Each structure stands twice: as structure tokens, then as C-alpha cells.
Amino acid sequence: GDKAFAQFLTDEIKEEKKIQKHKSLPKVSGGWELEVHGTEAKLVRKIAGERVTVTFNINNSIPPSDEEETQEEQKPDEQEPDLTSTPNFVVEVVKDDTKQTLVLDCHYPEDEVGHEGEEESDIFTIREVSFQPTGESDWKDTNYTLNTDSLDWALYDHLMDFLADRGVDNTFADELIELSTALEHQEYIKFLEDLKSFVKCQ
């Protein structure tokens, strides 16, 4: 059984490498620096008196597909539909002269993915906003967190503009999807390779 499993994985890795779009990770325009630690990625950008950090994790970032098709129904030469990774991401804005960080928790709404042709609609939304002490990795649940569900629209729009002024806009969100998808695929191939070595290990 293990031999057949290893052979299957070998073929699967070959296939995945064939459809891999990016050999190296795509860049995000606008002077963002990328750091990757396993499945977590961090984009950092410094602008006058501020540091903006965007963090996301590719785990569980691929929305469940609606296709109930079984593999047999697909024609053999049809490629599987492109999987797109749309992770939640957290934007932190630190001003040099304050001890506080403004944290905005953003996500891609599931129904917004096919948004072509609409008026300038935003492809991501802000879910929560809070202040956290700068430099502390553990955020406190005791800090007030503003949930945007019940938020005044004008305030919400200002928050979106605030992000856009710092380079977090639709273009950025699109490029983040590209980057995340490439990263997810890279990690998937690596996982298959690790699994193959594990299975072959006697």
C-alpha cells in the first residue's frame, strides 16, 4: 500500500509543479517587504513616521469549493479549477511617537470574489478595529474592540480611506491574493514532498 501511495504522491507532485504559476513568490507593489515564516507571511512598509505591517496565514485560506463534481466527471485534459487563497489579514499601523498600535482585522467576504463589473466595490472588508500596546505579541482581550457590523458607514469609509492612504487598497488586496495563492501552492507541494519521504521511510 505504501508503495502505491508513494507513487501516487510522485505523480501528484509532478502535476502540481506543472501548474505552478510562480517559481518564486510574486512581489507586492508599493515597496512592501516580505517575510515568510512557514505558513505565516508578513508585509512591512515604512512611511513618514509610521510602520504598516500586514500579517496573514495561508492555513485554511482556501474557501471550500462549491463544485460537487467527482473527479471522474471531469474530462481528463481539463485542469482542476484554480484554487485561490483569500486569507484573513491583519493590518497594524504603528506611529513612531505613540505607544499604541491601531489594529484592523480584515477579510475577503466570500460572496465578493466575482466582483467584476460592479461599481468600485471593495474586495475586502474591515471586521474589527482595536488599539493594542505596541510591541506586545499577546493582545489583550480587555482592550476595546470595535466590531464593524454595527458601525456608522461614514466612519467605516474613513477607516477604509485611512488604509488606502497607507497602501492597503483593492490593488494591494488583489496582489495579496496572488501572493497568498502562490505561497499556499508552494507549501502544498512541499507538504506532498514531505509526505512522500515520510511514506517511503521504512
Q: What is the pLDDT of residues 150-199, one digit of tens each?
A: 889 999 999 999 999 999 999 999 999 999 999 999 999 999 999 999 99
Are 168 and 77 contacting, i.e. CB atoms less than 8 angstroms apart? no
Q: What is the pTM of this model?
A: 0.84
What band does 74 get if pLDDT is binned at 50, 70 and 90? very low
Phi-psi region of 15 (alpha: psi -120 to 50; beta: other; left: phi over 0): alpha
- What does the pLDDT read at residue 66? 58
- What does the pLDDT read at residue 164? 96
- How far is Cα 91 from Cα 77, in angstroms, rounded to an integer? 41
What band does 65 get if pLDDT is binned at 50, 70 and 90? low
Q: What is the pLDDT of residues 77-111, one digit of tens each?
A: 444 557 899 999 999 999 988 878 999 999 999 76
Are 34 and 48 contacting, i.e. CB atoms less than 8 angstroms apart? no
Where exactly are the structural domains of the chain?
Answer: 1-60+86-111+121-200
Inform me whether the pLDDT recorded for 72 exceeds 50.
no
- How far is Cα 93 from Cα 100, in angstroms, rounded to an integer? 9
Q: Is 149 strand, coil or helix?
A: helix
- What does the pLDDT read at residue 183? 95
The architecture of the domain spanning 1-60+86-111+121-200 is Roll (3.10)
Q: What is the pLDDT of residues 114-135, one digit of tens each?
A: 444 444 588 999 999 999 887 7
